[in-house]
Amino acid sequence: MATIRDVAKLAGVSTATVSRVLNEQGGVNSETKQKVLDAIKKLNYKPNTIAKNFRQNKTDTIIVVIPDITNTFFSKILLGMQDVANANGYNVLLCNTNNDVEKELEYIRFTERRGADGIIFLTARVNYTNILELTKTCPVVVACEYIDNLDIPTVSINNFKAAYEATEYLIKLGHKKIAYINGPKGIVLSRDRLRGYKAALERYGIEIDEKLIFEGDFYYESGYKHAKQILENGASAVFTASDDMAAGFIRYCIDNNIKVPKEVSVVGFDNIKLASIIKPELTTIAQPMYEIGSTAMDMLIKLIKGEEVEKRNIVLEHQLIVRESCMPYEKSYVKTLK
C-alpha cells in the first residue's frame, strides 16, 4: 500500500507538498501539483484515514445510540441526522442497543476512548448520571426526551403536553373510561406521557382508574396483549404511547370482531407510516421525526466545534393528526345499545 512518502519520492517533492495538494490548501505551483497528481495516480495512492484522524485527533464520526433499529420511528429520525452529519463531513456510526442498558454503557465507553467525536442518544435507559459524567469529556445530545435540571442538551417534543392533548381529545369526544398503554417505566418520556394523561383526566374531573393504566414496551405485541384486559375493564377509548401498540390493540379488536372506532376509539403516538397504512387509519400524535434528527445533529456538531449553543433544551412542535380510529362516545356502539 503506497504511502504519502512513496508519492513524494516519485513526484520528487516533499511529503508536505503532497499533503498540501491532497488537502487542496493552495500555495502549490501548478506544475508541482501536476507532478504530485500524476504520482498519486500512478501509485494508485489512497490517503490513510486513520493516520489522518490520529494526527488531527478526531474521527469525523458521530455515534447514534438507538434502542431499536427495526422501529421506523427511529429510522426516520436517523434520516434527519444523517443528512446533517454528512453535510458537515461527519459519518454516523449507528449503534443498536436492543434496549439493553449494558450496551448503552459500552457505547459510552467507546466514545470516551475517542472512538467518536460525539454521541447522540435516542432515548436513554441508562441512569442519567452516566450521561452527565460523559458530558464532561465529550459532546452529548439526548433526543426524544426532555431532561430538565441536569445540564444535558436535549431535543424533543413536549411529551407531557402531547399526551395531555391526546387524552383531552378523547375526553371531548365524550369518553370517560379512557385506558392508557404507557411505554416502559424508567424512561423519562414514559413518565412525562403518563403525567400528561393523568393531568387531562384530572382537569376534566375524571377519576384516575389504575385498572385502566398499563405498562407496555412500545411494541405491537404489547398492544395486542393488553387489549383483552382493557376491553374487559370497560374502556370505551384507548390512548397508547406508540403507534405500534395502537396497531396491536386494533388488531386484537379485528381478531375478536370488535369494531374500531364503533366500539372503541384508539389514539396512537408517533405518526409512523404504519399509522396511515392500517385500517382504520390511526389518529395519533405526530412527532416531527426528521426535524428532531436534524436539530439534534446540528446541536451536537456545534458542541463538537466548540460553538455557542443558544438553547440547550429544544422543544419542537407536535401535532394531533385526526384520522379514522376515534368516534364520539355518544355515537358509539356501546352507547347505542342502551
Partner DNA sequence: TTGTAAGCGTTATCAT
Partner DNA sequence: ATGATAACGCTTACAA
Residue 115 interacting with DNA (CB under 7 A): no
CB under 8 Å to 262, separation ≥6 — which residues? 327, 332, 333
Interacting residues toward a second copy by CB under 8 A: 1, 46-51, 53-54, 57, 59, 61, 69-70, 72, 75-76, 78-79, 82, 91-96, 110, 112-115, 137, 220, 247, 251, 254, 273-274, 277-279
Shortest Å, Cβ 218 to DNA: 39
Q: Which is nearer to DNA, 115 or 174 (CB)?
A: 115
Distance CA 129, CA 176 (A): 40
Query: DSSP letter string over 90-145?
Result: -EEEEEE-TT-HHHHHHHHHHHHTTSSSEEEEES--S-HHHHHHHHTTS-EEEES-
Within a 13 Å sphere around the CA of 271, how many CA atoms are in the beta-carbon half? 17
275 with 243: CB under 8 angstroms? Answer: yes
Restricted to residues 213-252, the positions that interact with DNA (CB under 7 A) are none
Shortest separation between residue 28's beta carbon and DNA, angstroms? 4
Region from 31-39, 79-87, 120-128, 258-266 binding DNA, contact rule CB under 7 A? 31-39
Return the number of the residue (246 or 327) whose C-beta is nearest a second copy. 246
Work out which of 55, 136, 185, 311 binds DNA, going by CB under 7 A.
55
Q: CA dist 297 to 58, 230, 291, Å? A: 17, 39, 10
- Closer residue to DNA (CB): 47 or 184: 47
For DNA, what does the binding mask look like between residues 161 and 200, x meaning CB under 7 A?
Answer: ----------------------------------------
2 or 206, CB closer to DNA? 2
Applying CB under 7 A, which of residues 38, 41, 42, 51 lies at the interface with DNA? Answer: 51
Find the shortest distance in angstroms from Cβ 37 to DNA. 12
Does residue 10 touch DNA according to CB under 7 A? Answer: no
Report the helix count and the strand count for the chain, using DSSP H and E: 14, 12
Which of DNA, a second copy, none does 96 bind, CB closer than 5 to 8 A by kind?
a second copy
Please say whether the dihedral angle defined by the alpha carbons of residues 329, 330, 331 and 336, taken in this order, is positive or negative: positive
Q: Pick from a second copy, DNA, none: which does 82 bind, CB < 5 to 8 A by kind?
A: a second copy
Q: How do 283-286 and 319-321 pair as beta strands?
A: antiparallel
Q: Does 33 bind DNA (CB under 7 A)?
A: yes
* Helix, strand and coil in the chain, % to nearest 5: 50, 15, 35
| Nearer Cβ to a second copy (22/199) | 22
The CB-of-186 to a second copy minimum distance in angstroms stands at 23
Q: Which long-range contacts (CB under 8 A, 24 or more apart) does 171-174 make?
A: 171/200, 171/201, 171/204, 171/206, 173/237, 173/265, 173/326, 173/327, 173/328, 173/329, 174/328, 174/329, 174/330
Residues that bind DNA (CB under 7 A): 1, 3-5, 12-20, 22-23, 26-29, 31-33, 47-48, 51-52, 54-57
